[in-house]
Amino acid sequence: MDTLILKGKVVSVKVKDELLSKITDLKSKDITPSLSAIIVGDNPASKLYVSSKAKAFSKLGCYSEVFSLPKDTSKEVLINFISELNENKKFHGILLQLPLPKHLNEKEILKTISPKKDVDGLHPENQGYIMQGDPQFIPCTPFGCLKILDYYDIDIEGKDVVVVGRSNLVGKPIASLLSQNFSYGNATVTLCHTRTKNLESYTQKADIIIAAVGVPNLIKKNMIKEGVHIVDVGINRIDDTTKEKGYRVVGDVDFDDVLGKAASVTPVPGGVGVMTVTMLLSNTVQAAINQN
């Protein structure tokens, strides 16, 4: 079997093309979709990630501003800063880059972001809307997964889907979305995780696998059935002395191993990761529309 490689870039280009008319319409009214991104501390990966977001926004004529706060920023100072951004009409979206330093409670801080500006879809109110089948903002990574499935015309309705991973960022929301009565839902979804016994007994029956558990090369050929579609959300660094940086990036799926047995699979890198920034842009544009 020839395995189709589900590349995120082509999907990203399509989504951005669709956004251009909305952005043009907003700018004709002197409204520039704008994102405020907050980084607490000096995590290099976070800085690189936010930098890539700023570039993507700029290319489409949108605005993104990064606010860097010291690692020892107190809860009170951070909450007050977010409150000011909630009231600042210049910004339509607020992104709090995770993870936060250990002395800050992520759940507590995320609750202080206005649901109307929560373009990462992590506020409890927005997560609740997802559970009710009425999403306002879908978290960017699950949103990107859905766009990939839709673009490549992978049928979801009535299919058996196994989601491996139960995070609030990916696993839980995508499991809920795929089981809802949506055009991109109506699947029978099983949610697995690192404590699931005999994981292969679930994945071997799946028509679609969403791997988002953070374990390098977890899903292998012997764990899947012929013709399964796989979306790999994992981004893991593993040591590799043949690489200049001393490591390489792999997903939660053993990509080379599943080729020839899976009907399709997203690569890492070049798959879902590309879509995450694009869907943040999409959510920010939608926030600008909602607020005006």
- Give me the CATH number covering residue 104: 3.40.50.10860
Give the number of domains in the chain. Answer: 2
Distance from C-alpha of 283 to C-alpha of 209, rounded to nearest angstrom: 25
By the 8 A CB rule, do 252 and 236 touch? Answer: yes
Marked catalytic residue, from 118, 120, 252, 254? 120
Q: Structure pTM?
A: 0.94
51 confidence band (pLDDT: 50, 70, 90): confident
Instruction: Give me the half-sphere count of Cα atoms (radius 13 Å) on the Cβ side of residue 128.
Output: 5
Residue 190 lies in a domain: yes
Provide the pLDDT confidence category of residue 3 given band limits of 50, 70 and 90. very high
Q: Residue 87 — very low, low, confident or very high, per pLDDT cuts 50/70/90?
A: very high
Residue 253 contacts residue 217 (beta carbons within 8 Å):
yes
- Please report whether residue 84 resides in a domain: yes
Percent of the chain with pLDDT over 70: 100
Residue 285 has pLDDT above 90, yes or no: yes
Annotated active-site residue in 53, 116, 117, 147? 53
Is residue 140 within 8 A of residue 279, CB to CB? The reply is yes
**176 and 263 inside one domain:** yes
Evaluate if residue 217 carries a pLDDT over 90. Answer: yes
Tokens encoding 182: 């949506």
> What mean pLDDT value characterizes the chain?
94
Residue 65 lies in a domain: yes
Contact predicate 270/235, CB 8 Å? no
CATH number of domain containing 179: 3.40.50.720
Does residue 282 belong to any structural domain of this protein?
no
Same domain (yes/no): 206, 262: yes
Q: According to the model, what pLDDT value does residue 219 have?
A: 98
pLDDT of res. 52: 80
Q: Are residues 112 and 155 in the same domain?
A: no
Mean pLDDT of 182-189: 91
Asked whether the beta carbons of 190 and 161 are under 8 A apart, the reply is yes
What is the rounded distance in angstroms from the CA atom of residue 126 to the CA atom of residue 135? 7
**CA separation, residue 74 to residues 79, 97, 99, 257 (Å):** 9, 16, 15, 47
Catalytic residue among 97, 127, 180, 286: 97
Task: Say yes or no: 61 and 103 in one domain.
Answer: yes
Token digits for 163?
Answer: 């989601």
Q: Can you list the alpha helix ranges (DSSP code H) found in the chain?
A: 8-27, 44-59, 75-87, 106-110, 124-131, 140-151, 171-179, 200-203, 255-258, 272-291
Mean pLDDT of 69-82: 97
Does residue 40 belong to any structural domain of this protein? yes
Distance of CA 205 to the CA centre of its chain: 25
Give the CA distances from residue 264 to residues 7, 87, 181, 216, 267, in Å, rounded to whole numbers and listed in that order. 10, 45, 24, 19, 10
What is the pLDDT, as a whole number, of residue 243? 85
The confidence score (pLDDT) of residue 214 equals 94
In the chain, % of residues over pLDDT 90: 87
Rounded distance, CA 145 to CA 176, Å? 13
Examine residue 1 and state whether it is found in any structural domain, yes or no. Answer: no
Q: In what order do the strands lie in the sheet with 229-232?
A: 4-5, 264-265, 229-232, 208-211, 160-164, 188-192
Helices 8-27, 272-291: axis angle to 10 degrees equals 20
Mean pLDDT of 210-239: 96
201-216: pLDDT as tens digits: 999 999 999 999 999 9
- Is 53 tagged catalytic? yes
Residue 160's pLDDT is: 98
pLDDT of residue 184: 84
Q: Which among 219, 193, 223, 224 has a CA at the least distance from the CA of 207?
A: 224
pLDDT digits (tens, 9 = 90+) for 133-176: 899 999 999 999 999 999 999 999 999 999 999 999 999 999 99
Do 96 and 170 sit in the same domain of this protein? no
Contact 108, 75 (CB under 8 A): yes
Task: Respond yes or no: is residue 155 known to be catalytic.
Answer: no
Question: Looking at the domain assignment, is residue 279 inside a domain?
Answer: no
Residue among 65, 21, 23, 82 nearest 288 (CA) = 23
- Which residue is it, tokens 């951070």? 78
Range of the domain at 206: 140-273
Q: Is 97 a catalytic residue?
A: yes
Asked if the structure places residue 63 within a domain, the reply is yes
pLDDT at 244: 83
Mean pLDDT score, 273-281: 94
